Structure 1
Amino acid sequence: MAPPPPPSAALPDELVEEILLRLPTDDPACLLRSSLVSKAWSGAVSGPGFRRLLHELHGTPPVLGLLHDQDSDRAPSFFPTTASSFSLAVPDGRSWLARDCCHGRALFFPKCEDAKELLVWEPITGAQHLMPVPAALERGYLAVAVLCTADGCDHRDCLGSPFRVLFVFPGGYGTSACVYWSETGAWGEPASTHDDLMVYIQHSGILDGSSQLYFVFYDHEESGWILEYDFSRHSLSLFSAPDNHFGLYNLVLADDGGLGVIQHVHPHLKLWTRDASDGTDARWVLSRVISPCNLLPTSARLDEGYRVLVVGFAEGANVIFVSTLAGLFAIELQSEQVKKVCDQCSFHNMVPVVTFYTPMARGNLQNLLASKPGEDPGGEDGVEEEKTVN
């Protein structure tokens, strides 16, 4: 009779962590299932240092999905862009519209015009923070952004840290901006410029470094302009977009981390970067030309009657999202690899959720495995995380 097999020894914690770190980051459901194996595995992935290790090993975080800012009951509030069925407990789309997402937080505006609060939501933890609507919202708004404000933060694990919200609105004789600070729970005094900007297309701004935030605007003559807000100086300034009398514009980050612009010139997309290497005022330099017709599948190729529309940029992942007659597609700018996101084609602005997913500790898990993309999480097989309002 053969002897019984020796008892299996538990894997060392360091080895478990190394295995879990190497699971595909674009398949967050895989990490979620692994966290359910045991308390030890759950503790390994929900610890405060695991997200930092993911950044160190993988570098670029994945795009978990897209929020949209369209008042539509026909489209789900969240479109997953991952390899498996995956969803997040997004705030109720009947009450809230997404406006921006950065540094692990998303900003929502209320659908009700009489509402007195805005909502900041953490996709990973589900935590919610209600904040007062600025008085200037009565005049309308031009742009908004939500950002981490923790001193010295590298934004690799800034969940739960202080944040700020920038609000750009039309002033009496120009354009103004004010900032909300979560530490004080109040809006600061506005900064203003005499430039009168009338049209804004892209809701989400682009952060260049840690103190400059940029938005695209258009004047009465439909010329393109870039509005810069400097957090360190609490000031607004304006400069022209490249070839600013022709085309639509979307802001992106250049390969070196500086400011870039995508110009829509049918049938191409021109990628411009800012160059200040000669010591004078920065100038626009044409970096390259992207031809969507050569990248997209045959079903989505453009004809003379339809122009490609860039509807979002995933800061941190270097991915643009383009709307075509055949649906929504993601294009990675560096490799120019293309992936279809969904069949919807009527969106004008998408808000990407770019972050490494890590499950919460056992007993506090969201049910993030949706049977169909965009379905509400929760149900018999999972326990939805309790949301908190600070």
Structure 2
Amino acid sequence: MSEEMLRRRRLPTTTPPPPSPLDDDDLLQDILLRLPPNPSSLRTASAVCNRWHRLVFDPRFRRRFVEHHREPPLLGFFDPVAGFRSTTQHLPSSDRIPTDRFLPAKEAGLRWEIVNCCKGLVLFRITFRGDRKCKEFLVVDPISGDRRLVPFPLVDGKFVCATVVPAAGDRRSFCVVAVFAERGAFTSVFASVYSSEAGVWGDYVSSLSLSWEVWVMGPSVLAGNAVHWFLDGHKVLMFDLESQRLEFSGLPLDVKDDQDFDHRCRFQIIPVGDGRRLGLAVIVESTMQLWERKIGDGCDAKWLLSRTLQLDFPPLQPEGRKLIVGVAEENNSILLWTCVGLFMVHLKYMQMVARW
């Protein structure tokens, strides 16, 4: 055997290194799912390389990311007096959303009111442009900065309430549900739906004839496949998005009709059961009652008391006044006003998660 052959036989054999987990698209997506749900997380990851950009912007991955983070961060809320109040000031600058992204474009003499927020979209009603009265809706996506004007439907009735509902997994497509009323011997309440894809309002899809006047006490709540509004007189107006029907129901409350504003602010309709059903939060002294609306086999709805929670965690004062001033649907939380500040309380874990 030659010297060259002996030298080759003595050379150690090397095993190729195992592939990196980052080389597997499925494993890499599982890792990226664990990124925090902050506004900059996916944007930063997409800038690593073309492959990461492709994976991050895959619609299937986006849906998985939303499902994995069941409760997105609360970016802020609308205060009737102070306007939009951001909750991102404590985050790094890359995760702060400028306040003006949540508001209509700056324009001299522009007057507007916030109508509702739903799954990342904000709906405004424009009432004045300069010295001219105006009837328009404006849909704003604060994350992308997209704005879309929606003309008012041609109706003779009085505007009652409205809501915007984005399509599942794509905020660029949405519908606006607007409810109007005409007062006569009876109150005629009817609804119309605007489709962003068609760009037009549909015909009146449903109507109700009521013996009392309709006054909406707050923004809408999306529960299941229906939009709900809390009405004065402790009733609920519901619009089913699938059947496109208006209905109303009462709440499990034995109250007088002449209660003051503070009393009404002790009640708030909320989504329960992972957002599939309608619920009700009621402040009773130092406790909060959580009710749930359940529909039986005969489609008869009943309200059942599911839990009673103690509002005695510090720094809340058991004897102090507590008012419900809002609900963060996707965070399963409510905004609670007290004499010592404004609190965000998680309803499932009954923990204070923020204070302002």
Q: TM-score, normalised by structure 1?
A: 0.69
Paired AA for residue 126 in structure 1? G
Q: Aligned equivalents of 1:225 and 1:28: distance in 2?
A: 37
Corresponding position of 1:328: 342
Q: Which moved more, 1:15-24 or 1:29-38?
A: 29-38
Q: Does 1:128 align with 2:138?
A: no
Paired residues for 1:22-171 under 5 Å: 22-25=34-37, 27-56=38-67, 58-68=68-78, 70=80, 72=82, 75-76=83-84, 78-80=86-88, 84=92, 85-87=95-97, 89-92=101-104, 95=110, 96-110=112-126, 112=128, 114-136=133-155, 140-148=158-166, 155=168, 157-161=169-173, 163-171=174-182
Picking from 253, 256, 272, the partner of 2:291 is 272
Give every structure 1 segment of 4 or more consecutive aligned residues whose post-TM-superposition deviation is greater than 4 Å: 81-85, 93-96
Aligned to 1:192: 207
Residues 50-88 of structure 1: CA deviation (Å, up to 9, x unaligned): 2112134x251313323316264xx54543398655215
**1:284 is matched with which residue?**
303
Return the alpha-carbon distance in structure 1 between the equivalents of residues 230 and 215 of structure 2.
9
Q: Does 1:253 align with 2:264?
A: no
- What does the per-residue CA deviation read over 1:274-314, in whole Å, with 9 as the maximum and x for residues that have no partner? 2333646221111112232x13x32x43544x2x2222222
| Correspondence for 1:369 | none
2:329 to 315, 325, 344: 315
Quote the residue 2:12 is aligned against: none
**Unaligned stretches of 5+ residues in structure 2:** 1-16, 257-262
Distance verdict in 2 for CA 1:236–1:76, change over 3 Å: closer
Structure 2 equivalent of residue 226 of structure 1: 236
C-alpha spacing 1:229/1:250, structure 2 compared with 1 (3 Å): same
**Could you tell me how far 1:273 is from its partner in structure 2?**
0.9
Structure 2 counterpart of 1:356: none
Quote the offset at 1:19 in angstroms.
2.8
> In 2 relative to 1, CA 280–134 (structure 1 residues): closer, same or farther, beyond 3 Å?
closer
5+ residue gaps, structure 1, are 1-5, 150-154, 344-390
CA contact (8 A) 1:224 1:240 kept: yes
Aligned length: 313
Of 92-101 and 328-337, deviating more is: 92-101
**Once the 2 structures are TM-superposed, how far is the Cα of residue 260 of structure 1 from its aligned partner?**
0.8
Distance in 2 (alpha carbons) for counterparts of 1:166 and 1:19:
39
- Tell me the SS of whatever aligns to 1:50: helix
Shift of 1:176: 2.6
Cα distance in 1 for residues equivalent to 2:85 and 2:288: 28
Counterpart residue number, 1:355: none
1:198-246, CA deviations, whole angstroms, 9 ceiling, x for partnerless residues? 43222123232x2x3221101xxxx300112233443322211111426
Equivalents in 2 of 1:11, 1:178: separation in Å? 50
- Matched-pair contact (CA < 8 Å) for 1:164–1:179: yes
Shift of 1:132: 0.2
Instruction: Give the partner amino acid of 1:281.
Output: D
Match of 1:202 among 209, 214, 218: 218
Distance 1:311 1:279, change over 3 A: same
After superposition, give the CA deviation of every residue in 1:136-156 in whole Å (9 maximum; x if it has no partner): 4x865332111135xxxxx2x
Q: State the TM-score, normalized to the length of structure 2.
A: 0.75
The whole-number CA distance in structure 1 between the counterparts of 2:54 and 2:79 is: 36
State the alpha-carbon separation in 2 of the partners of residues 82 and 30 from structure 1. 16
Q: Which residue of 1 aligns with 2:8?
A: none
- 1:66·1:81 contact (CA, 8 Å) conserved in 2? no
RCO (CA 8 Å, sep 6+): is it higher in 1 or 2?
1
Q: 1:44 to 1:215 in 2, by over 3 A?
A: same
Q: 1:115-144: per-residue Cα shift (whole Å, max 9, x none)?
A: 2421112233322221102344x8653321
Are the structure 2 counterparts of residues 192 and 320 from structure 1 closer, same or farther at C-alpha, using a change threshold of 3 Å?
A: same
The amino acid of 2:216's aligned partner reads: Y
Larger CA Rg, structure 1 vs 2: 2
SS at 2:181 equivalent: strand
Identical amino acids, percent of aligned pairs: 29
Shift of 1:23: 1.5
Whole-Å separation in 1 of the counterparts to 2:79 and 2:113: 5
Letter in 1 for 2:207: S
Supply the distance in 2 between the matched residues of 1:48 and 1:274 (Cα, whole angstroms).
Answer: 34
Paired amino acid for 2:284 = V
Cα deviation digits, residues 340-390 of structure 1 (max 9, x gap): 24x3xxxxxxxxxxxxxxxxxxxxxxxxxxxxxxxxxxxxxxxxxxxxxxx
User: Following the alignment from structure 1 to structure 2, what is the Cα–Cα distance between the partners of residues 81 and 194?
Assistant: 48
